[in-house]
Chain A
């Protein structure tokens, strides 16, 4: 049987969920027996070169690039999973959602207590830069998401069990304690 192919991405996240994937420790050896990794920070493959079976998304969408990456994942993955609080609900980055974007930018680049060098009072606006969204969006408000893994980050065993469940087509039970968002 062909090995299932996995792709992963971190959008507006902290890479904590990716670290949690690595936290499955020596089981990572079993994992690479079971699956192939395609586009992912783990392989450093930047562009989709083939269709994938499972896409794991960490983080929500805070800028236009996140949106493009997420849509790309939806196009190229059969199953898309929101992994962790930020992907599921926006998480910590979404704390800015009550504040107008212009105010956030001014605080970050002009008025914040750690701003010293910006004497010309420039707000980053190079065409190469992604554009900031009006608020941070959870992934399922942008594209259809098939599954959600709770946790901040989801514990390693949960990610493991979820992947095994998806590969083998078995339903898993998420224990109450796994619903932790701190």
Chain B
């Protein structure tokens, strides 16, 4: 083991800022990261063991103990549940002979839950040793486990030919489907790499920024910050070295559009990063991709190499003196919070993905303390089209305050889940018609941190001034129990994904969940609803967007579906703690061999 860890350390020149890569590669070599490797890595990087352990313990996909030769990570997003996850779970447990969270006795198979893996359009889906398995059924599960036990390699278990486009390519060989349902200027496949770069070599960086500003494009990652302004801030910031970071963490459950862009249009993305680099004066870019998309790694690395070969990256791009820009790919290791831009930067530096206090903003002090632009995948791709066709052209799409198009990820109870590139200004009804959603009870707009709306609001418009969205729409049919199946699932997600720095985010999320559970259990009273509404504002003091929006699923369902709560609470009393003495003492009675408490022998 020592030698293979040393090889990994040499690969990254024992650079402590590359700790993420070092741990990922160590785990690939050894299967997990044992204590001895932690010590070796710490020594070689010249940092303390605790520093290594901090990073190691933060991320979901790192293992400190053997976690099974085949590690199954089954998505637990709400859409996976809708499409039969429970039965799939049971099939896995029965076939593997262990429960979720455990490893089978022979050490062959480990079963784990995981937050949305970006496959909401083809659920239930799982990662098995980083290979994606989509549309799982109990039958398929039994087949897969049987083949694993028979000694087959995981790559040979995928359904050959199921994937389309680049998914079927030699370097991906995945059964993932793109499900591109509607194409607009960004997803247009008629794109020729290099045209935008050729164009900008005739422009000054300021002119490039001017064009982006003219287009009025706002960030597509969710927050909607004007992209031209961001680039200008970074250009003007003091610093010899500057960086372009592309955010492909895509962790918001229900979002999978960046996955499709990474699969089909990586050249467009790399060109967008180079354009941004030229505009702000950065020579280095990092594409930060979520761990769940490791199946695209060889494809992306290959396209990078090919792009360099065509001189669209590297030194003297397009022959222009001083236009140097290159990109490296950084993988995460499983943490939704790393999509937050400052957490993403921390993670890319090899640390725990904990958001920073802001200001200073990344444009002043970002990656390694240098001015940094963090942009979403789609933002950078759109920038290429703006450069090619002009800001005025871009403004001809969309509405006044929301120009251009938005790539939507639509999933849930509809006939055609997938990717739709639409102009801003569409109503929710338009989307429902397009996707064949027959009997929607509600739509979750913008993922769990967004808004849950009911039919009387389906005429609302997707745009920054009405219903802003990072692009995820989850359609929830009539047959679902909104509170139990949806709101609880989202709340669990935030409890799981809070980084833990801020007290309200760490604790209040759990208290909200308890209250919701109490209501679901039939012990809720009116006060519980009032309490939750009253506590809501406390969440605004959290440091980042995760904590600030973590109870939105509950608050927005109370606001728009209050009757669902009212129907479940007890009207005959003003207090119900939900406490059951007999149940509470059962465990200790069992432990000391005492007669369990019953109503008859419970003497006050």
Contacts and interface: CB of A to CB of B under 8 A. Distances in A.
A1 to B, nearest CB: 29
Interface in B66-118: none
Interface of B: 574-575, 577-579, 581, 583-594, 597, 604
A17 to B, nearest CB: 21
A100 B590 CA distance: 12
B591 A123 contact: yes
A118 to B, nearest CB: 13
Contact of B594 (A72, A131, A135, A144): A131
B591 A105 contact: yes
A137 B604 contact: no
B592 A142 contact: no
A52 to B, nearest CB: 18
Contact of A123 (B584, B587, B592): B592
A31 interface: no
Nearest to B589: A131
A102 B597 CA distance: 17
A142 B588 contact: no
A172 interface: no
13 contacts: A64-B581, A67-B579, A67-B584, A101-B587, A102-B591, A123-B593, A124-B592, A127-B594, A134-B583, A134-B585, A137-B584, A141-B578, A142-B579
A135 B579 CA distance: 12
Contacts of B583: 134
Contact of B575 (A68, A132, A137, A144): A144
A100 to B, nearest CB: 7
A133 interface: yes
A125 B597 CA distance: 13
Interface of A: 64, 67-68, 71-72, 100-102, 105, 123-125, 127, 131-135, 137, 140-144
Nearest to B576: A144
A131 B578 contact: no
A137 B580 CA distance: 12
A142 B581 CA distance: 9
B522 to A, nearest CB: 16
B588 A132 contact: yes
Contacts of B577: 140-144
A37 B587 CA distance: 38
Contact of A68 (B579, B590, B592, B604): B604
A138 B585 CA distance: 16
Given A140-B577, A144-B575, A125 B604 contact: no
Contacts of A67: 579, 581, 584
Given A123-B593, A134-B587, A142-B579, 13 more contacts: A64-B581, A68-B604, A105-B591, A123-B592, A124-B592, A125-B594, A134-B584, A135-B584, A137-B579, A141-B577, A143-B575, A144-B575, A144-B577
Nearest to A71: B604
Nearest to A122: B592
Q: Which 3 A-B pairs have the closest CB atoms?
A: A132-B588, A144-B575, A102-B591
Contacts of A105: 588, 591-592
Contacts of B574: 144
A49 B496 CA distance: 49
Given A102-B591, A123-B591, A131 B575 contact: no
Contacts of B588: 101-102, 105, 131-134
A133 B592 contact: no
B579 A141 contact: yes
A131 B597 contact: yes
A125 B593 contact: yes
A68 B578 CA distance: 16
B592 A72 contact: no
A179 B133 CA distance: 51
B149 to A, nearest CB: 33
A125 B585 contact: no
B596 to A, nearest CB: 9
A101 B589 CA distance: 10
Contacts of A100: 587
A102 B587 contact: yes
B355 to A, nearest CB: 25
B585 A133 contact: yes
A11 to B, nearest CB: 14
Nearest to A143: B577
Centre residue among A101, A131, A135 by max chain B CB count within 10 A: A131
Nearest to A69: B604
A125 B584 contact: no
Q: Which of A67, A100, A137, A143 has the most CB of B within 10 A?
A: A67
B597 A64 contact: yes
A66 to B, nearest CB: 11
A96 to B, nearest CB: 12
Contacts of A127: 594
A111 B587 CA distance: 19
Contacts of A134: 583-588
Contacts of B584: 67, 133-135, 137
Contacts of A71: 604
A89 B595 CA distance: 30
A125 B578 contact: no
Given A64-B597, A134-B585, A143-B577, A101 B591 contact: yes
Contacts of A140: 577
A151 to B, nearest CB: 17
Contacts of B579: 67, 137, 141-142
